[in-house]
Structure 1
Amino acid sequence: MGELRHGPVVPQVENLLRERLRRKEWAPGERLPNEVRLAEELGVGRSSVREAVRLLARDGLLDVRHGAGTFVAEPPAESSGVQQLLRRARLLEVYEVRRALEVEAARLAAQRVRPEDIERLRAGLRNRQQRRGGAPAAFVDADLEFHRAIVELSGNALLLNLFLAALPLLRETLIEMVRHETGLPDVSCAHADLLDALERGDAAAAVEATVDNLETVLSGVRAAVAQ
């Protein structure tokens, strides 16, 4: 079982439970330990467990039966589009959070970045590009490391802590996106534009490139969810 870090508790509890479900620690249809026991196991409050369970139930992973308990949901039929819709809805939420965090981080980073930081970012961007089209997890890790470095360069500890708290869920959601979504846009140009803006110290251009990167994916996801 993983350990909780500093930062918002609910996303971490959700990720820990999601990982246990992924490992099939509980079989489909099996009843989970009650709220009190899970809270004790994880070292968190019952309200945090309750909210994490609610999020997992919304994603179709758990089945909350009032008066009976919480059960592992039966896997959907392969032909069902429900899971895809749930995945896209979660992706939409994740990208909205990314946008809020990374736009401000890019603006601040453009004001504070140093030449040696640019070289490190350039190497990170090369690594991202080299992994594009390869294993989804390796590509997502390289992409998130590039963005994490920019958030770190913002110099804002709270922004960085919020980003790191969301990182496990963000990673999992993006890997699912790369694996399952077809016709994903190539946002490599937006990443290159962001690096150029940071190198010039142009905060407005850094914000614009970040918005272009995230909104390109967001617009496609919004359209798919709305269909």
Structure 2
Amino acid sequence: MGELRHGRVVPQVESLLRERLRRKEWKPGERLPNEVALAAELGVGRSSVREAVRLLARDGLLDVRHGSGTFVAEAPAESGEVGQLLRRARLLEVYEVRRALEVEAARLAAHRVRPEDIERLRAGLRKRQERQEDGPAMFVDADLEFHRAIVELSGNALLLNLFLAALPLLRETLIEMVRHETGLPDVSCAHADLLGALERGDSDAAVKATVDNLETVLSGVREAVAQ
């Protein structure tokens, strides 16, 4: 079944349920146990189960039928190469938006970051590293938490609002990327370089590290789509 760790409950419940769906513990069209039963089995509150189910339904994995229960969604029509191509096309668009927002955020943050902010970012980067083996949802949440903190440090409220508006789609797409794409590059060094640049207050280096992080993935996806 998996084991819950300390930290945010909903992403862990989502990850556990997603893994059980992946292992086909419940078949397409089969009804899941109700909220009360799942909450008791996982040792969490009903609200956490409800939110995790909502996220999985949004991703098209579950079908919530009010009055009837929650069912495993039937396999989507778009599968195989077509589905992969559509995922990669959406991933390209999402990363283009990320670049537009996060490059400027890094440049501004380098001028405004304080020592206590660096410690918070360093803790966030450690958490990102620790979550790499904890499933796609938990890893993506830790990664986005790190990047969101940098956007917040830009001091630009409009930039932050734009990032937050894109966050749900960004999260969904990144989880799909981690789950389905093979041979993804390790961009840990680019993240460490970004933190170092911010600590030095070097805006040019912060921009370069951000571009290196995003372009490393973008170039691979562009090449895959072109093929």
Q: TM-score, normalised by structure 2?
A: 0.69
Unaligned runs of 5+ in 2: 1-53, 66-72
* Distance across 1 between alignment mates of 2:226 and 2:59: 31
Shift of 1:77: 6.7
How many residues align structurally? 167
- Superposition map of 1:179-190 within 5 A: 179-190=179-190
Spell out, residue by residue over 1:65-93, the C-alpha distance to the aligned partner (whole angstroms, 9 max, x if none).
Answer: xxxxxxx9972375x21000000000000
What is the one-letter code of the residue matched to 1:23? Answer: L
Q: Would the alpha carbon gap of residues 99 and 20 (structure 1) be closer, same or farther in structure 2, given more than 3 Å must change?
A: closer
Spell out, residue by residue over 1:29-72, the C-alpha distance to the aligned partner (whole angstroms, 9 max, x if none).
Answer: xxxxxxxxxxxxxxxxxxxxxxxxxxxxxxxxxxxxxxxxxxx9
CA contact (8 A) 2:122 2:195 kept: yes
Q: Would the alpha carbon gap of residues 175 and 20 (structure 1) be closer, same or farther in structure 2, given more than 3 Å must change?
A: closer
- 1:90 equivalenced with 2:94 (yes/no): no
- 1:204 equivalenced with 2:204 (yes/no): yes
- Superposition map of 1:72-87 within 5 A: 75-76=76-77, 80-87=80-87
Identify the residue that residue 134 of structure 1 maps to in structure 2.
Answer: 134
SS in 1 for 2:63: coil
Shift of 1:134: 2.6
Unaligned runs of 5+ in 1: 1-14, 27-71
SS in 2 for 1:24: strand
Kindly report structure 1 stretches of 4+ aligned residues shifted beyond 2 Å: 20-23
Identify the residue that residue 150 of structure 2 maps to in structure 1.
Answer: 150
* Distance across 2 between alignment mates of 1:140 and 1:129: 11
* Distance across 2 between alignment mates of 1:136 and 1:20: 13
- Superposition map of 1:1-227 within 5 A: 19=58, 21-25=60-64, 75-76=76-77, 80-227=80-227
CA contact (8 A) 2:136 2:175 kept: yes
Identify the residue that residue 48 of structure 2 maps to in structure 1.
Answer: none
Q: Percent identity?
A: 81
Q: Would the alpha carbon gap of residues 25 and 148 (structure 1) be closer, same or farther in structure 2, given more than 3 Å must change?
A: same
* Distance across 2 between alignment mates of 1:94 and 1:144: 13
Aligned-residue CA RMSD (Å) = 2.2
Shift of 1:20: 7.8
